[in-house]
Amino acid sequence: MDTPMRRIDARSLRGLAHPLRMRILEALELDGPLTSTGLSARLGESTGTISWHLRLLAEHGYIEEEADRGTKRERWWRVPRGATVLNPADFRDDPETSGALKVYLEDLVERYYNRVRRYVAENWSGEWQHAAALSDWRDLKLTPEKLVALNEELQATIERYTGDSDEEGAMPVIVQLQSFPRRPA
């Protein structure tokens, strides 16, 4: 079964490229469906502000209402099944979206960094510390085509482990992968 995929276009990128909307989306992605009240408590924002941003995210298809849950006053929101894909090269020459792309990418990098900082600051058991990895590889020299192939192979490997696990002791795990060229000094 193929996983649905949604490509981010210029309009939806502008709809997402706001730090609070990105925090809302991340909360729903990581912890599942929530109401505006739940998100308000988690993110420290008013329910009115959260509700406004939820409507914008829904308008652009990033989230959807969980219709079979809640009441007219209490609406639950979730992230639709499937992957959302952004190709920064699609916006490279578009001055109208370059600002939104910069906001999106800078916020994304900051959230990735903060996830690792939280992990390092927390007190994990030796078993989890041994299982985790903070690694990098510096001796690769690849063409753009080979970097694409590497990223696709890594993604395919991760997808084999994706899904809910009923195993005892299983916890949510985040895999962050950054792969990019480096200019020599």
The mean pLDDT values, 10 residues at a time, for the chain of 185 residues are 77 91 94 94 96 95 89 88 87 85 91 93 94 91 96 93 83 88 81
Strands 64-70 and 83-85 come out as unpaired
Which tokens sit at 59?
A: 């308008």
Helix (H, G, I), strand (E, B) or coil at 129: helix
Of 84, 79, 71, nearest to 33 by C-alpha is 79
Which pLDDT score is estimated for 2? Answer: 61
Q: What are the boundaries of each domain within the chain?
A: 5-132
Which pLDDT score is estimated for 58? Answer: 95
pTM of the predicted protein model: 0.80
Q: Which amino acid is at 37?
A: T
User: CATH second-level architecture of 5-132?
Assistant: Orthogonal Bundle (1.10)
